[in-house]
Structures are given as structure tokens and as C-alpha cells.
Structure 1
Amino acid sequence: MKNFAVLKLFIGIFSKVEFVSSIQSLLKNLDNPVRITAMICWNYSTRIKFTSRFLKSKYFNEERSHQFAITESRIENFPQVIEEHQQLIIVDLDCKNTQKLLQDVGYKITRRFKWIALSEFYESDHKNLKEILNKLPILTNSEFYCVLKTLSNKEETSLGANNRTEKEFEFSIFQVIAVYKPALDKSLIFENLGIFANNILFVQRKVKELSIRRRNLQQTKLRASLVVTNNDTFKHLEDYRNRHIDTISKVCYFLTNYLSDFVNGTLEYKFVNSWGYKDENTSKWSGMIGDLTENRSDIGASALFYTPDRIKYIDYIAMPTPTRSKFVFRSPKLSFTENVYLLPFDRFVWYSLFGLMAVTSIVLLSVTWIERKIIISDNQIENDSFVLRPSLLDVFIVVFGASCQQGSAVAPMTFSARLVMMLTFITLMFLYTSYSANIVALLQSPSNRIKTLEDLLNSRLKLAADDTVFNHYYFRHATEETRKAIYEKKILNHDGTENFLPIADGIEKIRNGLFAFHFETGVGYKLLEELFLEDEKCGLQEIQYLQVVDPWYSIQKNSSYRKLFKIGMMRINEHGLQQRENFALYTRKPKCVSRGGNFITASLVDTKPTLLVLLWGYLIAFIILLIERILHKIHSKIQNYLQ
């Protein structure tokens, strides 16, 4: 009886030890995890022998540092690590506690841990495995491998147990399979990865990448949540009509259908009216994100903005469309932002012009003074009202009139003085012609002064935004100083109403000018292209308001389909399907093909600087008149007093 117990112990020890070589070969195909934990129910001798042989294997003689631990198969001993992808767990399916351990682990099986399950009992239909594993959440992203002993050299050569040596166990044959389920309600699928015999793993799988091998979900039901903000969308989800309504959802609807075909799934759509925003009171999410976080949907079928507060609740996997929301407006005329009467000349040209007038006045004053003192008698000048007198004010008026091409009612008497005046008129004529030509061009030119949100805030343009859910949310919750000021001063009215308009009304206001409208550009440009004349499409400007990147496609956090869906979306993009749908449903910014084709009439805004000069001139002249009147009265009183 004692000899039988020793024999049983000897066979039990070596029956577990012979798994070491097969595990070692499998590990090399699992990207060499660096932490290995065996959670088993073996006796002390079996553990020592297994650990000793495992640590002597070639796997632990490589340059990478590895960690190996062996412990009881209880949930409290489960390793708590951050780098889950580097952790491998070995369990023995022949242990009674293993099934309970796997049930207690739960969804950690679908995380990034790698698993190797050992069993000495092989059945061709895997009936024993189904009984143990069928209720476990071993899903498509699970790396759960089973090493099953199918044949030993004892069965092959009929050698007695007493004649068996450790070396002989190397010739045992093991089958290596991977186990997963497409969904919790589906049956287990067994992938035959290879056969281990004679210290060699004969790999039978054709594709190494896990997600590619398991892309066939066998018509698994995929729940998709789609955002619809207009009932018209239900009529035109697939016929490309009314492209400007819920465009991003229509694009993602087609892409989601392509994704379902890629994985061989069956879609079940749920329609919501919002992408989802967090309720600060309940900490719950509404709309599409609420469906994802509360396990009512697997896929967020409408792309949404990538924001920091959403990262820990959902997973972003792809960028399906490059559309963005911006303020769009027609560039106002240059006279709305600049004084066009100062722009024709550079400031140095203005300095030169004033210098020329000053020098000309001095020269002309000098010549006329010489005329009066030396050449011509005073009596002749006094009797002729058309002769230019050597007065600084008279000379300045003549030169100023020459700069405005107004001519002069007086002229000097000598040829030298007349030559100075002639040259002055010719020189200032060219400057006047250049100035007039530039003024005409500038009055027809658009302004590019409004380039930032701060410029937009300080401009005379009126602002509004498209009446959508996300515009309401982001404008009302803006915290950045300039963006908050835009909402409070330009969007929010004094009576408490807000400038959120239907997109068609907003586009029409843009056409009328001096109006900036915030909308999704790929959507709004479709209406803009239909409503605007060709010359009105020129001078369109865009300014980004939302501090977000392009919309992303989302799924449940830590979904077992994450990598599979990500690969599917990349394939859809690579094959051109994503680009096709974007081109079919989105409209790009209209091109300007007839700039300057329409003449723009001058308005009061264009002539405002000249009117201001005239009014200020009248005011100054009137003030000087009053001063002269007062001085004249004072002078008269003094004269009367002296007499």
C-alpha cells in the first residue's frame, strides 16, 4: 500500500512537469510575457519540481528579466498589476478550485491578461472544457489558451510505470487551442493553434493577429446608438437627400453598416437626440454616451468630440470625418476696419509728400519775396489782385491747392517763380493720380483684419450659431475668457434670448453681410453654395471657436470588440469607403472663381472719414470766426479808448 502511494505521487509529479516544455514553446508565441503566475492546487513536491524545471528552461535564460510565482488557486492571490499585458497566469483545469477562481475573476479574463489552462483529460469534442468554461466571459479579445495532453509515450510503447523516466515524458503529445466566445450568449469557439510533440510546437494557425482571426462574429447582435436631431433624417438615412440635416450621423450610419459587414455582425439601432452630457447633480450621462456607459449600446454610431471629461467613460477608436464647426462670414469691406484714405501711400510716402509741400512753400515764398523787393515795384503788386503776394498763408494755400489739383487764382510775375509752380503741379499730379487709383481699388477690397476670436469680438459684426445640441452646450459652458465674452456679449441678448438660428436663416444673414454664423462647415457649405452668387462666394473667412479636435467614433469602455472594431474602421478608411461617404455627404468650401465680377457701390461708411473732415473743418472754422469776432471787438474798443 505504501509503494502504491509513492508510485501515485511519482506519476502525479511528472504528469504536471511534462507540461513545462509545451508551455515554454507557447510563451515564445505570446510576445514573451515577463510576469508569470501559476495558480494551482498541486502538492509541495509537484510545485518544487515544476518550478525547478520551469526556471531551468531556455525561456528564463534569455536577456529579458522575468518573474515567476506559484500560489494557490484562490481569488485573493490574484496578481494586482498595472501592466496587465505583461502578466501570464497558468491554471490547472484538473483542480477543483480552478472553476471557482475563473468565475471570481470574471471580466478580468477579457482584459489584457494572458491565460494558459492545463488539462490531462482530452476529449475530441471538448465536452469537459465546455462544462468548465462555457459560463465564463471569455470574449473575442481574451487570450485564453488550453494545453491538453492527448497522448504519452506510455500509451504508445506500453512501458511500465516503474520504467518511466523524466526524459521519457518529453515525448508526450499536447494539443494547444485558444478558446473564446463572440458574445456572452454565444457558444464557445475552439481554435486549433498547434500540436506540441518531441519538444517542437507545430503551429497550425495561418494568421497570428488575434483580432483578424476572430473577426467573424457569426451574426452576433451589435447594439448601436445613433444621434438624430431632426425627424427628417429617418426618411433619408440611405438616399443621400437633405445632406445638410444630421450629416455626421448619416456618414457614420454608412460606416457602421460597413463595420458590421466586416465583422459579420447584426446591427440593432437605437436612436437618441443627443450625443450625451454629464449631469453634475447625478454624475450620469445622457444621450449616446449614457447608452454606452450603462451597457445599453455597444457602439456609439455618431461621431462625437474628443474631450477630456469623456475619456474615462468611453473609448475612441477612429476619426471618421474631418468636419469642423467654425464661425463663417463674408469679409467686410476694407472701409469697415480701416481708414482707406490713409492706405494708398506708405507712411514714408506721406512724410515725403508733406516734406515736398513744405519745401515748395519755402522756395515759392522766397521767390515771391525777391520779386517784390528787387524786381517788381510794390505799387504794381498792390494794384494787381492776380499777383501772388509773398505771404506764407497765401503761398501755402496755392501749394495745398496744387496737391488737390485745384489750380490757383493767383500767379507770380517772374518766370522763375512760375517755373517753380509748374513743377509743383506736375509732381503733385502724379501723386494725385496714384492716390485716386488706389482709393478706387481699396473701396472694392475686402478686409482681412478679422483673423482671431478677439478680433471677431471687437468687430462690428453680429454673431449667431446654428441651433444644435452641441452648440448650445459648448457656448453656454465656455470658460476661456474670449469665448465666454463672445457668448455673453454677442450670442446672449439683453432680454435673455440667445442667437441660435436655423442653419438656413443663418446662411442668408451671412449673404447680407456684416454677420458671422457658427455652423458645421461641411454641412452649411451645401446651403451656402446653393444660395450664394458666384461673386458672393469670394472673401469667405473662417474662425475656429470650439476647442476640440475632429469628431471621433466611440464604443464602450474596455469593450471586447475594441481592437477588432479599430482594425475594421482602419480597413474601411484604407479601402476608400470612408472617403466616399464623406465626399457624398459633405460639401467643401466653395471656390472663388469670379472675384471682382460685381461692382460695389460706395456707402456712407466708405465716405465717413471725408465727412468727418468736413464737419470738423466747419467746426474749427466757426470757432476761429468767433475768436476773430471777439478779437475785432476788443481791438475796436481799444482804438476808441485811445482816441
Structure 2
Amino acid sequence: MYSNDEKRDMILIYGEKNTETFMKRLTHNYHVNMIKEIKTQRTLPEHQLFIIDLTCHDSLPLLKQAEKLGLFKSPFRWILYGPVATVSSFYFAVDSRVFIIEPDRVETIYKYSQKSSFVRDDVTSLSKRTNLMGATIKISIVITNPDSLNHLWDYRNKHIDAISKLNYILVHQLMSYLNASKEIIIQKTWGYKNQTTGLYSGMAGDLQKGVANLGGTPLFFTTDRIDIIDYIAATTPTYMKFIFKAPPLTYVTNVFTLPFAASVWHYCFVMVAVVVIFVYLVVLWEWKEVKFRKTISGKHGDTLRPNIFDVMMMEIGAITQQGSDVEPQSIAGRIIFIFTLTTLMFLYTSYSANIVALLQSTTDSIKTLDDLLHSRIKLGVEDIVYAHYYFENAVDPTRRAIYEQKVAPKGQKPSFMKAEEGIRRVQEGFFAFHIELNTGYKIISDVFQEGEKCGLKEIEYVNLIEPWLATEKKSPYKEVMKIGMRKIHETGIQNREIRRVYTRKPQCHTRGSNFGSVGLIDCYSAFLIFGIGIGLGVLLFVLELIAKEYFLRKIHTEN
């Protein structure tokens, strides 16, 4: 028994004069020297030429062995001497390079299919085999929604099975270009490997088993699929990403500190401290000055006392634009108070104007999967076959953590849902939905208000290039299909169908009118301050009660 490499080397012949000698050596098993000679001159398959004399009595067994080894497929080339009828039972496919030499002519011969008869062409017609003369091509396509079978041509519900509908049209154009008839096989899934048997399900399985010649729905490149199928053309700009509305700025930071630069805040604190000190000194002078004593004693209720806490309360009233029920009595004190109110009024106006703008602003802080994982945004995934596969089989630590912590936490129902439900939750905010972009943007265009289309963000989860059409491994139609798909691309048919079927990201035209109500999260800092104030007040009140009780008991004990 010999290996495939040895058998292949035994078939390779370098000239007509060697044929008889080689056949004798093969018949009598004197092949050792020939194998050694060929292996020392080994070349690439596309540079190998096989020459066979069909009048030799052992030529047919030799050709049968070559057929088993797959040597009639491209890029191997053959030159056969003798009548065509001798090899009529062999299948020289469309991609073969077989030349037949007869006494009066030299031609190329090939068959459109296993059952068809030989086509005999001039040797210059090798590049003109795109006319398959009605040969049947078996095409496997993926349909996830049964209703899509009713709308493969009419452009209705374009966002449902969009990739299948688009490529069904393109494959129809390809069959028209090749003059071939098609037989459609419907599958529910693209196909994934069974680790036990090594066989694939769905469309990939049809191509692996030879049930289909062409996969009519594109597949993503994966390392395991490269061994069972051949990719021929990129047809669809299909990408799967998380779509979400950029969260408000208040979601990630305290907007109440943002209106002023750090230097302005510093100057404001210094100014307030200086005003408190000067007002305190003026009030202290007023209470010691003889000419103000009578006035102060008559207006004791509305006169500012020389107490640092009273002065600070007056200043806080000015800062918050609430005014004060007490004031200095001297002209100097009133001048300081008036200019303090005026200065703080301008600062308050500037602060309020900036707050209004900031409350309507969004943040760009969520840019990566890691940012998404550690944000408070909830996640959801479109309930479709390939989404389950890529999320459930994620290996990368961040992607795995996203699935286990946010998509399918242990003990909770996994967040797989219909496209419409996921986009509705995106519209409500604080939700990122993983979906094929065409499907997502079609629904967004239909249900979002114009202002809501602004600030849409995307983050890629499945890091794959766009999907490609595929054929069975070493398909005889691979090259002619590649030529056909290139023609469809060059003539603009592919681009036209993409624009008709696929929905692009909605443009933002009315960002200025996108006003929303202020929510609790926007006022978080304000309520936090309020809560801290109440807590301190209650704490001091309790301490006062304790102190009062302590002193009352002490007085009672002393008496």
C-alpha cells in the first residue's frame, strides 16, 4: 500500500516518451526510482502537468486512481492522447484543465455536472466557462423567521432575515449570470460543530456533506469552518453590536461641580471668606461704637449681632439668593452687603445657565466592552441562533464576564429578547441591546422621535469581519461563482440591493430640540446634601437633648 503522495507521484509523467516505460514500471512494481526522481523535482500543484497516452492498456486504471486522488480538479493540468470516448465515464468538472489531443485537433473537455456529456471547446476558451447550460446548483439558505419565505423579493419587513433576503436576490442574479438553475434548501441555522461527531449542523453541514454546492446566506469567518468550506465573496456589510443611547452626563459625574472651573471655585471660596471676615469686623465695631448703641438697642430684632455664625448665615442667604432678615447698621456694612449680593447674583446666574445645559448633555465615557461591563447600564441580546452561540461560547475574560454577569446571571432569566422589545428598552434609556445593526436601525427609524436618534452609540462584541458566501470544499463551481460575484459587484447590482434592503444609522438633525425631564438621578447630589443636612440636624438635636438632661440632673444633684 502506498500513501496518497506516493500514488500521486506515480501518476506524474514528464513527457510522452516516458509513458510506456512508466507504465511498465508501474505494472511490475518498479516504481522506486521514479518516486525518488519525482520527489527531487517536486513543484507546486499549479505547475504540475500530467501526460497520459490513452492507447496504453493501463491508462484507464491510472486515470481512475487519479480521480480518487482528486487530481482532475484545479489547479492540476492534464494532456490526454487519444479519442474522447475513452474517458467518457470520467467527470472533468468546470474548473478542470484537461486537454485532449486527437490526430486532427486539440481541445479542452469538461462537464457541467456529473450526468452531463462532455463539452468540447477550443483551448483558448478556458476563461469562458461561466455558461453552465442550465446545470442545477443546490443552494442552502438560512431562514430564521418562516414568514420571510413569503417576502424574499418584495422588500417588505426588510429588517427580518435581512441578510438572507439580500443574498437570495444576489444569488438569483448569480444563477442568471451562470445560466444555471437552482434548487433551494432551507435551514434554520448557519451551522455549528458537533464536538463528538465533528459534523456541522445547518447550512455549514449541508456544504460539508456535499448536500449543497453553495451557501446562499453568508457566514462569518471562523477557524473551524475553514477546513470544511471555501469562502468566495463578501456580499453584505453586516455587523452585530451593542446599541445604546449615550447616558446623561449626570449618570457618571456630579454636574453641580462642573459649571465653574476649579480656579473660579477657589476664588469664590476666598471671596466668601473675606466677606465674612470684613462683615464680622464691621458688626463688631458697630456694637462697640457709642453712636450706634441706641439704634441697635431699638432694632435688636433685625440687627446683625457680632456672632460669626450669624454672619455666616447671612452670607449663605446671599449665596442662595434668599436674602437675610438681619443686616449691618453702618454705611460701611451696608455697602459690603449690597456689593456681596450683586456679585453673588451674577455668579448665581452664570451657574444656573450652565446647569441647564449640563443637564441635557450626554457622556462619551462608555467606549469599550470593559466600560460597558463596569457601567450601570443593563444589557440585552437579540434572541437569534448565532447570538446564543457567540455569547455562550465566549472565551475572552471581558466578554465572558459580560455574559455571566449582565446577560445571563446565575439564577436569573437570560436577557435574550425579541428585537422590538430590546429597541424599546433602548429608547427608555440606560439599556444596551446587542443586535444586527440593520435590524436595529430599521426599528429605531420607525419608533424613535427625531430628537431620540441623537447620541446613539455602538460597541462591538463579536470581533469578526463581515460575512462571506461559501461553497463546499474544493467545489468545481468555486471559480466561476467567484467570477460571477465579482461581476455583480462591479456592475453596481450588489450596491443597489444593499441600499434597498439595509438601513443605515439614522442621522441626527434636531439635537437642539431634544429636551427631557430632569430625573432623580440628575438631582442626586442635591438630595444627598438635603439628606446630610437633615441627618446633622437630627444628630445635633439629640445631642442637645442629652446635654440638657445631663445639666438638669447635675443641677438637681447639687441642690
The residue that corresponds to 1:588 in the other structure is 504
Q: Does 1:192 align with 2:108?
A: no
The residue that corresponds to 1:97 in the other structure is 58
The correspondence for 1:408, drawn from 317, 324, 328, is: 324
2-structure distance, mates of 1:367, 1:319: 83
The residue that corresponds to 2:8 in the other structure is none
1-structure distance, mates of 2:37, 2:311: 106
State whether residues 66 and 72 of structure 2, in contact with CA within 8 Å, keep that contact through their aligned partners in structure 1.
no
2-structure distance, mates of 1:452, 1:611: 31
The residue that corresponds to 1:143 in the other structure is 97
Offset from partner CA, 1:491-521 (integer Å, 9 cap, x none): 2255553222222232333333333322222
Q: Does 1:131 align with 2:86?
A: yes
Q: In structure 1, what residue type is equivalent to 2:268? A: L
Larger Rg over CA atoms: 1
Offset from partner CA, 1:104-135 (integer Å, 9 cap, x none): 1225324444424253x5xxxxxx13313x33
The correspondence for 1:292, drawn from 200, 207, 219, is: 207
State whether residues 73 and 101 of structure 1, in contact with CA within 8 Å, keep that contact through their aligned partners in structure 2.
no
Q: How many residues align?
A: 539
Q: In structure 1, what residue type is equivalent to 2:200? A: W
Q: In structure 2, what residue type is equivalent to 1:497? A: K
The residue that corresponds to 1:561 in the other structure is 477
Pair 1:331–1:44, CA change in 2 (3 A): closer
How is 1:146-161 mapped onto 2 (pairs within 5 angstroms)?
Answer: 146-147=100-101, 150=104
Pair 1:589–1:45, CA change in 2 (3 A): closer
Structure 1 residue 184: Cα displacement: 2.5
Partner SS, residue 243 of structure 2: strand
2-structure distance, mates of 1:567, 1:110: 21
The residue that corresponds to 1:395 in the other structure is 311
Offset from partner CA, 1:205-251 (integer Å, 9 cap, x none): 3x7xx4x3211112111110011122212212222222222111111
For structure 2, the 5+ residue unaligned runs are 1-10, 23-30
Q: In structure 2, what residue type is equivalent to 1:291? A: D
Partner SS, residue 548 of structure 1: coil
Offset from partner CA, 1:602-636 (integer Å, 9 cap, x none): 23333232122111111112212333444455566
Partner SS, residue 13 of structure 2: strand
Partner SS, residue 550 of structure 1: coil
The correspondence for 1:38, drawn from 1, 5, 13, is: 13
- Larger displacement relative to structure 2 (93-102 or 577-586): 93-102
State whether residues 19 and 52 of structure 2, in contact with CA within 8 Å, keep that contact through their aligned partners in structure 1.
no
Give the fraction of aligned pairs with identical amino acids, expressed as a percent: 38
Q: Does 1:181 align with 2:111?
A: yes
1-structure distance, mates of 2:153, 2:250: 48
2-structure distance, mates of 1:375, 1:281: 104
Pair 1:81–1:181, CA change in 2 (3 A): farther
The residue that corresponds to 2:79 in the other structure is 117
The residue that corresponds to 2:25 in the other structure is none
Partner SS, residue 513 of structure 2: coil
For structure 1, the 5+ residue unaligned runs are 1-35, 48-70, 122-127, 151-174, 194-204
How is 1:487-636 mapped onto 2 (pairs within 5 angstroms)?
Answer: 487-492=403-408, 495=411, 497-597=413-513, 599-632=515-548, 634=550
2-structure distance, mates of 1:336, 1:390: 44
Pair 1:43–1:304, CA change in 2 (3 A): closer
2-structure distance, mates of 1:505, 1:492: 17
- Larger displacement relative to structure 2 (442-451 or 278-287): 442-451
Partner SS, residue 213 of structure 1: coil
Pair 1:383–1:307, CA change in 2 (3 A): farther
User: Looking at both structures, which has the greater relative contact order when contacts are Cα pairs under 8 Å and sequence separation is at least 6?
Assistant: 2
Structure 1 residue 596: Cα displacement: 4.1
1-structure distance, mates of 2:350, 2:72: 77
Structure 1 residue 375: Cα displacement: 8.0
Q: In structure 2, what residue type is equivalent to 1:490? A: K
2-structure distance, mates of 1:610, 1:43: 97
State whether residues 246 and 457 of structure 2, in contact with CA within 8 Å, keep that contact through their aligned partners in structure 1.
yes
Structure 1 residue 396: Cα displacement: 2.4
Structure 1 residue 292: Cα displacement: 0.2
The residue that corresponds to 1:453 in the other structure is 369
Q: In structure 1, what residue type is equivalent to 2:112? A: P
1-structure distance, mates of 2:476, 2:289: 109
Pair 1:44–1:459, CA change in 2 (3 A): closer
State whether residues 140 and 185 of structure 2, in contact with CA within 8 Å, keep that contact through their aligned partners in structure 1.
yes
Pair 1:583–1:41, CA change in 2 (3 A): closer
TM-score by length of 2: 0.86
Pair 1:631–1:496, CA change in 2 (3 A): closer
